[in-house]
Amino acid sequence: MRVAPRKFTQERARKTYESLIDAAAALFAREGFDATQTPDIAAEAGVSVGTFYRYFGDKREVFLEVMRRFLAEGRDAVLSQLTPDRFDPRDRRATIEHAINVLLENVRRAPGMQRAFMEMAMRDDEVAQFRVASEDLSYRQVSALIEAICPRDLVPDPAATAYVVHTAVIECSLYIAGLRGNPPDDEERAVAALTEMVFRALFGIER
């Protein structure tokens, strides 16, 4: 499984590779994994099928690269809002709520891609391992943040707390965005409740 970006010495090769990535991302999001075939990706990118196979062994390989980028962009978008300096004691709830809303925007920007990834992760071991690796990275980053901002008497185990909080926020966000069934009748209340849950897990109950 490729876990790092490919390097190119020729600009033309890089552009062709990127056009195939973009084409595959559009098709996987619109049609899903099963309905998308390599000739479709090549046609969408404006190249021959033979050109596709010069860069990728099969559609699963390009799918993994698409998901690597998609997950990294989403993770960076959310975690960039969760740096220790943003957690001013006077505005912690607002910081948490803003990060949750950024996560919701990320989920909604390509719901088809989210669905394709979740479906493949349930039936393809390589994709499932890819998902685990991505989630582990997120857990470690959230754990480091919690260790930096939370009093140890309130959060004695930052790693375990990161796992629980991260999982809860991701799952709740998928429901709120409508990817796990019907969304809540009042999204604002759901986001407020999720914000409060995270706040209390990290900082306790204000007195």
Q: What is the pLDDT of residues 70-84, one digit of tens each?
A: 888 888 888 888 889
Asked if 119 and 161 sit in the same domain, the reply is yes
Residues 105 and 14 in one domain: no
Whether 173 and 104 have beta carbons less than 8 Å apart is answered as yes
The predicted-structure confidence for 127-171, as pLDDT tens digits, reads as follows 898 888 888 999 999 999 999 999 899 999 999 999 999 999 999
| Residue matched to tokens 């790693």 | 159
CATH number for the domain harbouring residue 35: 1.10.10.60
What's the N-to-C CA distance of the chain in angstroms? 50
| Orientation angle between helical segments 92-109 and 59-79, nearest 10 degrees | 160
Instruction: Say if 2 falls within a structural domain.
Output: no
**Would you say residue 126 lies in a domain?**
yes
Residues 79 and 155 in one domain: yes
User: Are 108 and 52 in a shared domain?
Assistant: no
Q: Is there a single domain that holds both residue 78 and residue 46?
A: no
Q: What pTM value is reported for the model?
A: 0.79
Say yes or no: 86 and 19 in one domain.
Answer: no
Q: How many domains does the chain have?
A: 2
Residue 3 lies in a domain: no
Asked if 161 and 201 count as a contact pair (C-beta separation under 8 A), the reply is yes
**pLDDT top residue among 51 and 1:** 51
| Shared-domain flag, residues 26 and 97 | no
Residue in 73, 103, 98 with CA at minimum distance from that of residue 171: 103
Q: Which one has a higher pLDDT value, 89 or 96?
A: 96
Nearest to 82 by CA among 62, 102, 109: 102
Query: Averaged over 164-182, what is the pLDDT?
Result: 90
Residues 21 and 79 in one domain: no
Same domain, 15 and 85: no
- How far is it between the farthest Cα atoms of the chain? 67
Residue type, 42: A
Q: Has residue 182 got a pLDDT over 90?
A: no
How confident is the model at residue 92, as a pLDDT? 92
Q: At 4, is the pLDDT very low, low, confident or very high (cuts 50, 70, 90)?
A: low
Q: Is the pLDDT of residue 31 over 60?
A: yes
Residue 181 clears pLDDT 60, i.e. is over it: yes
Per the structure, the complete domain to which residue 47 belongs is given by 8-57
